[in-house]
Structure 1
């Protein structure tokens, strides 16, 4: 990227509202994500994080406001074509067949859950799948079947799958769901490796645990009751006052080696923020 020239916009949401069954899920939310930025969407359960991610991934449309994904406005573009340029990682991936890791990754080339009949990958696609498997730390599991994988191995497999079509944007919906501490740390390490190896890739990660954020996280958006409470560079947004207001708890935050820890400073009950168990080591 040329010095002094802002990176290209990957996402822009303006004054977005989303109403479902008469209930407002998002209200007046705006967000701009540029190439090479790594955003965290943070908030308690029900704050609207996954709902907003669905808009950013062209899976739903706003009731009011505009969403531009890779320069194309929702409502004016074939979303099936647009989704080919957006990697979406959902740990609830609906795979029922006992596919090998390699085969799951290759389904990212066809945007399908299972291999398509009579489809064969090109040598270039096979080579890319192998590179991604290595990058995500799965080289020793490439022949392992889906039912035998741990939750963490499945998560990293799905990230490799999402990267197969060389997307400019990667959306991660609570990728650490169900992981134990070693699995979480391996996932965080893999996400940070992606940042180093794919400089132009923009990512948006949904979580309600600050301990799950990779060191390369650059920006954050705090959601509370469907509204944006604060957004911007992590140094400005991830503070005890702002995150505490987001979760409704008195909190103290600390950052060590690029990783965050959280602890309560009062007597409130937990809301899903975690208690500061992250250490920043893999």
Structure 2
């Protein structure tokens, strides 16, 4: 299975302390008694079946939702007691369903991350911001797209542009909600490579990636959280958590998972 990831002792950038979330009006438990800490420089994968609470956890981490019980802290800021605009400066959030205006160039789309708007606010962008946007596109393997309209970019290219946009504010935490959704195999591998390069070039950046498939995990992922029915099934170093027994319990059917080099492969077959 490969060894456990080394323990990190960096600053806690995200901390859930006995968090529960109930969905009105019936009070259905979306998350139940979740405790979880992400530290600077860690790269977490969050896996679980549909309805496990993965996206709800990311909404809390980005300040878009509030716990019914317990507390969520982002870099020492208590969610529910801090202005969401303040969290936007330290948390980058990417969802596969977020659509970028297709008439914008890739560079301009990245710049809109500074203002959090769909369309550019030109007066607030400086030359250093434009240079930073170009650097991020280069870092994510999209240097040649800077002046290309988003509408003619592939889905894989758009996924990397969305990530560059989220990084333009220099966040300490990057949240990726199913970033590989609807990507074909070459586009998936391009994004995996881009995220691995990002981890190497920004060693203090913490990332949390929600996915359904272990095959999508970049080599940089060093921790994993398994959720089922809103509860934590397992959490810790990726080499300890991503084993066949744990994934079988989490997904409720026999799963075999193996590590091939720095990547993972899972199969499922009923005996």
TM-score, normalised with respect to structure 1: 0.90
Give the number of the structure with larger relative contact order, counting CA–CA contacts within 8 Å between residues 6 or more apart.
2
Residues 1:82 and 2:71 aligned together: no
Q: Identify unmatched segments of 5+ residues in structure 2.
A: 1-6
Over 6 Å off, 4+ runs: none
CA RMSD of aligned residues (A): 1.4
Unaligned stretches of 5+ residues in structure 1: 268-282
- Name the stretch that deviates more: 213-222 or 146-155: 146-155
Q: Kindly indicate whether the alpha-carbon contact (under 8 Å) linking 1:106 and 1:161 is maintained by their aligned counterparts in 2.
A: yes
Residue-pair matches, total: 263
Tell me whether 87-96 or 153-162 shows the greater mean CA deviation: 87-96
Deviation at 1:95, TM superposition (A): 3.1
Show the counterpart of 1:221: 225
Distance 2:231 2:133 in 1: 39
Partner of 2:242: 238
Comparing 194-203 with 85-94, greater Cα deviation is found at 85-94
Task: Tell me the equivalent position of 1:52.
Answer: 57
Q: Is residue 186 of structure 1 aligned with residue 190 of structure 2?
A: yes
Instruction: Tell me by how many angstroms 1:266 deviates.
Output: 2.5
Cα distance in 2 for partners of 1:5, 1:166 equals: 21
TM-score by length of 2: 0.94
For 2:8 and 2:198, locate their aligned partners in 1 and report how far apart those are by CA, in whole Å: 23
Superposed counterparts of 1:136-175, under 5 Å: 136-175=140-179
Report the CA distance shift for 1:128/1:96 in structure 2 as closer, same or farther (over 3 A): closer
Structure 1 residue matching 2:123: 3-state secondary structure? coil
Secondary structure of 2:183's aligned partner: coil
Q: What SS does the corresponding residue of 1:119 show, helix, strand or coil?
A: helix
Deviation string 1:210-265 (CA, Å, 9 cap, x unpaired) is: 00000010100000011110000001100000011111111111111210001124
Tell me, yes or no, if the aligned pair for 1:94 and 1:113 is still in contact at 8 Å.
no
Shift of 1:149: 1.4
